[in-house]
Amino acid sequence: MSEDKKQEEARSTAPEAVKPSPEKKLEKKINIIAILAILAIIGVVFYVISKDAAKRNAPEQGAVSPVYNMKSSTADGPAVPPPPAVTPAAPADAAKPVPPKAPPVDPWADIPDPVAEIDGKPIAKATLVDNFNSQYPDRKPQGITPEMIRNSAFVIANSYVNHQLMLDLARAKVSVSRDDIVKTLQDAVKNLDPAQMNMLKTSLAAQNQNLDAYIQQSADNAVVRENVLLTKYGELLEKDIQTTDAELKEAYDKLKEQYFITPADAPGTIRASHILFMIQDQKDQAAMDKAREQAVKTLAELRKNPEKFAETASAVSDCPSKKEGGSLGAFAKGAMVKPFEDAAFKLKEGEISEPVKTQFGYHIIRRDAPAARQEKSLAEVKDELSQYLKRNKVQEVLTAALEKSRQDRKVKILIPEPKPPAPPAAK
């Protein structure tokens, strides 16, 4: 997942606001350009989480169908409607006629049918609408108005056509088996942020499903299968692409200032690392006591072996910063919740705090040495840059192949392209 997303998840569990490192920023750019299989599982995760959130926020109405259900049936078989409730008859004069409900507005009503052609064969509007709806939980987009569709229909149709052409290009070169899809999903799950992994497992547990079974079920999802196919196609193209030393040097000079130079910490900031023992419910006294007990026990061990702080954070902390050995980077006053900030700024460099209670739980904080300016050499980032350049070239190859395919297959988008807004009148 992207670095911005990781930072967002980190802030949801701890009070840090940490600027991504330069090398992490480049990794973010690489991930945007690449056709990554993780997009498939992230989409599935979002689907599960959004459905689960919607279910929690909805009023109680009896049984709820599973969070993730490709075959429109419940986990235990087809849904059975409850028997009708027996309602006492109301007095005749109390009954008032209920006006009939207006039929739902079709936001696609103004869009022509068919919407496009490939090889002279029409693509029906129903096909495009079905594809559009498939991207939403329960295939029911909310808040979509006719005006929104009119303004976006050309782009939606064009994107759908490009996707179909790209799939055809991929199928001509590679194929994927179900085992390939399962392995890709398993690898993607391993790279999920801990916070996302916990949310996914929680959602699945609520539906009496486990992760392995869920992956097996997701492997039959057409969207997942297509994403894996496109990933394999991108990997195939990448194998034939080389980068020269001159290209690497040019890219390094262009990107060095933005990605490979870390400035010294700003005046007024400090660096700290922490180990978090999270408390989900501040009113749960038993959980509070357990978290404090864990913090006290861990602190006693760290007093004996302070050099194991990062190792311990990686093993036991409930904060995503555990991936960085608990490091929160540099921050100024006002970036953290007050109890955390007060404790961190009072520490001397290398000193470890007593357990500090915040709304997130109990923290063990260590103040770290400030960072001096750092500059990575070309040799240090050569492999990273090579991957970046290769994926840029893959994008160029894909763009050229797609354009040629559109011409060869006589693609036509039959929806009028919206006119750009008129410039404001001169005063």
Strands (E), 287-335: 327-331
Residues 356, 407: one domain?
no
Mean pLDDT by 10 residues, the chain (427 residues): 40 39 42 34 34 34 24 29 36 60 84 96 96 85 89 94 96 94 89 79 85 90 91 92 95 94 94 96 92 97 96 95 95 95 96 96 97 94 94 94 96 90 72
- Considering its fold, how many domains does the chain have in total? 2
Q: Say if residues 15 and 344 touch (Cβ distance below 8 Å).
A: no
Domain CATH code at residue 342:
3.10.50.40
CA distance 165 to 409: 9
The answer as to whether 20 is a domain residue is: no
Would residue 192 count as lying in a domain?
yes
By the 8 A CB rule, do 371 and 299 touch? no
pLDDT at residue number 20: 39
Cβ-contact 134, 223 below 8 angstroms = yes
pLDDT score recorded for residue 96: 63
Q: Look at residue 367 and tell me if it is in a domain.
A: yes
What pLDDT score does 104 carry? 77
- Rounded to whole angstroms, the Cα distance separating 371 from 270 reads 9
Statement to judge: residues 228 and 312 lie in one domain? no
What is the DSSP pairing of strand 412-413 with strand 116-118? antiparallel
Is residue 277, in this structure, part of any structural domain at all? Answer: yes
- Quick check: 13 and 278 in contact, CB under 8 A? yes
Q: Closest by alpha carbon to 319, among 300, 340, 297, 348?
A: 340
155 Cβ contact list (under 8 Å, min separation 6)? none
Q: Tell me, yes or no, whether 234 and 358 share the same domain.
A: no
Task: Decide: helix, strand or coil at residue 380.
Answer: helix
Q: Are residues 297 and 409 in the same domain?
A: no
The pLDDT score that the predictor gives to residue 95 is 56
Do residues 296 and 268 share a domain? yes
CB 362 within 8 A of CB 279: yes
CA angle at residue 384 from 378 to 386, to 5 degrees? Answer: 85
Give pLDDT, residue 219: 92
State whether 51 and 175 are in the same domain.
Answer: yes
Residue 363: strand pairing partners = 276, 356
Asked whether residue 352 is domain-assigned, the answer is: yes
362 and 411 together in one domain: no
CA 217 to chain centre: 20
Task: Give whole-number Cα distances, 407 to 155, 158, 165, 403, in Å.
Answer: 18, 14, 11, 6
Assess if residue 148 is contained within a domain: yes
Q: Which domain holds residue 303?
A: 264-372
Which among 337, 295, 300 is positioned nearest to 316, based on CA atoms? 295
The answer to whether residues 284 and 359 belong to one domain is yes
Same domain? For 364 and 408 the reply is: no
Please indicate, yes or no, whether residues 44 and 191 belong to a single structural domain of this protein: yes
Q: 47 with 163, same domain?
A: yes
The pLDDT of residue 348: 96
The amino acid at 164 = Q
Q: What pLDDT sits at residue 161?
A: 96
Q: Is residue 176 part of a domain?
A: yes
In a domain, 300, yes or no: yes
Are 172 and 274 members of one domain? no
Amino acid at 276: L
Q: Measure the CA–CA gap between 32 and 28, rounded to whole angstroms.
A: 6
